[in-house]
Amino acid sequence: MKNSANLLRKIETIEKEVMDLKLSVLRDLTPSRKKLISLKGILKGIDVTDQDIARAQKSLYNCLNG
């Protein structure tokens, strides 16, 4: 019984390693997207009010609702 449990654990470990390998290969084969640009600090020194956020939300939802 103990040997069977050990064997099953080893098989599960191998299956996980194979899945990780597949994902790694897929990541390497998939064309990379454009480089991400950090927007950190873009609003430094600018005060955004609740009213600004409300206007932006209203504008966005008006565009989405057609």
- The domain limits of the chain are 1-30
Dist. CA 59–CA 63, nearest whole Å: 6
Looking at every residue in the chain, the average pLDDT score rounds to 83
DSSP letter (8 states) at residue 32:
P
pTM (two decimals): 0.43
Burial of residue 46 (CB within 10 Å: 0-12, 13-18, 19+) is: exposed
Query: pLDDT digits over 33-54, tens only?
Result: 677 777 778 878 888 889 998 8
**What's the distance, CA 51 to chain centroid?**
31
Is pLDDT above 60 for 20? yes
